[in-house]
Amino acid sequence: MTSILTNTSAMSALQTLRAIGADLADTQDRVSSGYRVSEASDNVAYWSISTTMNSDNKAINAASDALGVGAAKVDTAYAAMESAIDVVDEIKAKLVTATEDSTDKTQIQLEITKLQEQLSAVAQAASFSGENWMVAADDADPAVVVDGFIRNADGTVKVTTAEFAVASYAMFGTMNDGVGGEGILGSVMNVTLESQSSVTEIQGFLDDVESALAGLTDAGAALGALITRIDLQDEFAATLSDAIETGVSRLVDADMEEESAKLSALQTQQQLAIQSLSIANSSSQNILSLFQG
């Protein structure tokens, strides 16, 4: 039966055209955005995972940036430590020279005094962003370096840190009017030669200097170990960030080759659906021929 009030063929063709139009719009959106899951309605599970992992990745990158600041602090302290070792070596050499009876110990002390001043200057200069690890009191809290961000199995998050015992490894415990005291180098700053200083006294100063060198060596080793950890963590953070980005990409990124093929097919289907609708609409006009005499 043909009706002039209801064109079922046109209705069917229109529904098909609408469905193709919706699919075409979705495909065009994927092509333009590059995502097959761009919002929760596209895929709740994948969208939830990608949102959480992208947030964690930003936190990891932030921790990596903080790690860079920590690395700068460690490098600054290590540079000061190396310089201090060189200066203490010089003081040690001057003391060995002073053990010879014919030397002018007063003149040697003038040189040692300048070297002691250099130690104070090195310690004061070992500051990064207002933080100095080379001058710290005996009860100072450990210096903390942020080195990572982790998400636990129960969903809680945690920022991981590395510590450096500044109280144990500081060159000086105090700094008064630019002169360092206490700490690893406190005994070195007390070295004072006089013209009548005996070999025994000089030997005592040498023992103090040797003890200070051992302390500086231990501190340098601790800083070196921290530098190694920071370098490894920095490399790991970069690798982890890349892995997370790759994993999220597999969940939400559109396959552009596939979407391109779909787009071409849907455009063709849309054209055919429009022609089908046009044919269905024209069928009603054929009824006119039934009433022509």
Sheet strands (E) in the chain: 127-128, 131-132, 143-151, 157-164, 174-176, 179-181
CA 232 – CA 224 distance, rounded (Å): 12
- Percentage above 70 pLDDT, the chain: 87
pLDDT tens figures, 214-235: 999 999 998 888 888 888 888 8
Beta bridge partners of 163: 144
Q: What pLDDT is attached to residue 51?
A: 82
Q: What pLDDT is attached to residue 213?
A: 92
Q: What pLDDT is attached to residue 3?
A: 63
Cα 219 vs. chain centroid, distance in angstroms?
Answer: 25
CA 191 – CA 280 distance, rounded (Å): 108
Residue 287 pLDDT level (bands cut at 50, 70, 90): low
pLDDT tens figures, 121-160: 999 888 888 888 888 888 888 888 877 777 776 667 777 7
pTM equals 0.70
pLDDT tens figures, 234-248: 888 788 888 888 888
- 220 within 8 A of 82, measured Cβ to Cβ: yes
Residue 251 pLDDT level (bands cut at 50, 70, 90): confident
pLDDT tens figures, 75-100: 899 999 999 999 999 999 988 888 88
Q: What pLDDT is attached to residue 259?
A: 66
Q: What pLDDT is attached to residue 237?
A: 79
| Residue 41 confidence (pLDDT) above 80 | no
Q: What pLDDT is attached to residue 2?
A: 61
* CATH of the domain spanning 65-253: 1.20.1330.10
Q: What pLDDT is attached to residue 101?
A: 78
Neighbour tally for 153: CB within 10 Å: 5
The segment with the largest mean pLDDT, out of 55-69, 77-91, 163-177, 187-201, is 77-91
**Chain length of the chain:** 293
Q: Comparing C-alpha atoms, which of 161, 159, 90, 163 is closest to residue 133?
A: 163
Find the mean pLDDT for residues 198-212.
89
- Domain segments of the chain: what residues? 65-253
Neighbour tally for 103: CB within 10 Å: 13
H or E element in which residue 114 lies: helix 105-125
Q: What pLDDT is attached to residue 290?
A: 65
Q: Which structure tokens are listed for 43?
A: 């895929």
Q: Which structure tokens are listed for 49?
A: 């995972």
> If you search the block for the tokens 């969940």, which residue do you land on?
251
**Cβ partners under 8 Å of residue 280, min gap 6:** 7, 9, 10, 12, 13
Q: What pLDDT is attached to residue 84?
A: 92
CA 75 – CA 73 distance, rounded (Å): 5
